[in-house]
């Protein structure tokens, strides 16, 4: 059993390296773009929000960058992992190994970029005056939380995509709507207590961003809320794995 687990870990590592290389992150230019992309987005949003609010920017630049990075990671990771079974169809169709490793390796490869971008956020927050203390430690739990959210969504989407390829177009529309349903460039208090507020409250990505901002900028980590969300999304990952494995014997029919 230990030998089998070691082989799976080695295979996961090799698949992750391959996925990362396919995204052109093996070159300096590819790595640089993974950093410049969220920085460019936050620059555009910063100017837009500044003009819209008459020069008073809320959230702050570092907080805005944090929201953009979290959203970009979710959008890129789920979109890429959704297509991984089809894009690597020789492995999906012919190789004998747990196919969930393809989805997991794709998710991990995007997570590497997310960790680098998060480090940039922390640096920006430090430069703009954030005081580093023990209260920032729960941020590691928030990173894990978003990874779990991305993983269970990716597992479900990867199966659905094989059945309905048009899902890719619908998902891009959903991601555009999700940007406005996620408090990336506006505070949640702006929504009041109407339907929009309720929709955002049901958005797991909004929960992630709210927790991260509370930890970094308010110094008030809600550990009970964090552990609760980790438990819920951990359960959703387990359910997604069960559904994926139930569908796995039929993967070759659709690729």
Mean pLDDT for back-to-back runs of 10 residues, the chain (255 residues): 67 82 59 61 56 48 80 92 88 82 92 83 70 74 95 95 90 91 78 74 88 79 86 96 90 76
d(CA 106, CA 108) in angstroms, rounded, equals 5
Query: What is this structure's pTM?
Result: 0.84
Burial class of residue 189, CB neighbours in 10 A (0-12, 13-18, 19+): exposed
Instruction: Report helix, strand or coil for 51.
Output: helix
d(CA 114, CA 143) in angstroms, rounded, equals 9
Q: What is the pLDDT of residue 56?
A: 44
Give the burial string for 80-94 (b: 16+ CB within 10 Å, else e). Answer: bbbbbbbbbeebbee
d(CA 195, CA 39) in angstroms, rounded, equals 31
| DSSP code for 131 | P
Q: What is the pLDDT of residue 223?
A: 82
Q: Where are the domains of the chain?
A: 2-254
């Amino acid at each position: 059993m230990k030998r089998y687990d070691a082989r799976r870990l080695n295979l996961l590592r090799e698949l992750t390296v391959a996925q990362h290389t396919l995204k052109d992150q093996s070159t300096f230019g590819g790595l640089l773009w993974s950093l410049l992309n969220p920085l460019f987005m936050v620059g555009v949003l910063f100017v837009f929000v500044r003009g819209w609010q008459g020069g008073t920017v809320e959230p702050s630049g570092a907080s805005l960058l944090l929201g953009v990075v979290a959203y970009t990671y979710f959008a890129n990771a789920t979109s890429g992992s959704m297509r991984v079974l089809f894009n690597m169809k020789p492995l999906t169709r012919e190789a004998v190994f747990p196919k969930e490793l393809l989805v997991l390796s794709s998710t991990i490869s995007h997570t590497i970029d997310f960790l680098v971008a998060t480090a940039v956020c922390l640096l920006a927050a430090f430069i703009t005056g954030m005081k580093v203390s023990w209260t920032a430690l729960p941020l590691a739990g928030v990173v894990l939380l978003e990874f779990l959210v991305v993983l269970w969504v990716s597992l479900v989407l990867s199966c659905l995509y094989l059945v309905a390829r048009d899902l890719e177009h619908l998902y891009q529309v959903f991601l555009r709507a999700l940007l406005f349903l996620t408090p990336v460039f506006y505070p949640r208090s702006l929504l009041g207590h109407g339907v929009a507020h309720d929709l955002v409250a049901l958005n797991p990505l909004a929960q992630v961003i709210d927790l991260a901002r509370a930890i970094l900028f308010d110094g008030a980590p809600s550990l009970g809320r964090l552990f609760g969300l980790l438990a819920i999304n951990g359960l959703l990952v387990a359910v997604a794995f069960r559904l994926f494995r139930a569908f796995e014997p039929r993967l070759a029919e659709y690729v």
